[in-house]
A and B are shown apart, each in its own frame.
Chain A
Amino acid sequence: KQEVTQIPAALSVPEGENLVLNCSFTDSAIYNLQWFRQDPGKGLTSLLLIQSSQREQTSGRLNASLDKSSGRSTLYIAASQPGDSATYLCAVRKAGGTSYGKLTFGQGTILTVHP
């Protein structure tokens, strides 16, 4: 059974810091990994999608890397801003088997960026 763990569970940083969120998964047989952002009372917004054949993806101040063999992904946020405050979730999509295409989510990292 795929398990996805996100560390840390919560993070509070001053504005301007560069920070790293971690996501680890137990089964490396995946199609892709996706990072989401969720604001309070809102839905999940897709940030980055990394296919299993890729090593990283970038969007603006965000950079996500994937090391499938070790079961790890990191989300790097450069020059953090108060508007980055949200919960960040990662999810992996299983390849093959009886759970074809099943997406497993981590519990999320709650990020607070204070001015």
Chain B
Amino acid sequence: DAGITQSPRHKVTETGTPVTLRCHQTENHRYMYWYRQDPGHGLRLIHYSYGVKDTDKGEVSDGYSVSRSKTEDFLLTLESATSSQTSVYFCAASLSLDTGELFFGEGSRLTVL
């Protein structure tokens, strides 16, 4: 058990509405990540965090923002959801940025109509 839980696990929303996905971890990992997984594109990094209130962009960060107010929680927000953001979102965590093993949550399936 990687100790990473995501909520909600499934969500259907309409274009233009804000959406927040939550990731909670219990293993005191310093680094946390948000990925999206799409057919034909594989896993792509959206944003990551290297500590409380410390975040940075990944390769597909446009349209997304993140926040980390506590070590255990990492939030991903879509300010105004678009159909292109329909995807499966995965949260991950690791103890270190270089040699650390990466652990994943179960994923959140988001559908934007």
Contacts and interface: CB of A to CB of B under 8 A. Distances in A.
Interface of A: 31-32, 34, 36, 41-46, 49, 51, 89, 91, 93, 95, 100-103, 105-108
B98 A108 contact: no
Nearest to A53: B99
B43 interface: yes
Task: Say which size band chain B's interface belongs to.
Answer: 10 to 19
A43 B42 contact: no
20 contacts: A32-B98, A32-B99, A34-B101, A36-B104, A42-B106, A42-B107, A44-B90, A44-B92, A44-B104, A46-B102, A46-B103, A51-B99, A89-B43, A91-B102, A93-B98, A95-B98, A101-B31, A101-B98, A105-B42, A107-B42
Contacts of B102: 34, 46, 91, 103
B36 to A, nearest CB: 12
Contacts of B2: 46
B89 to A, nearest CB: 11
Interface of B: 2, 31, 42-43, 45, 90, 92, 97-99, 101-107
Given A102-B45, A106-B42, A107-B42, A45 B99 contact: no
Nearest to A101: B97
B87 to A, nearest CB: 14
Nearest to B105: A43
A42 B107 CA distance: 7
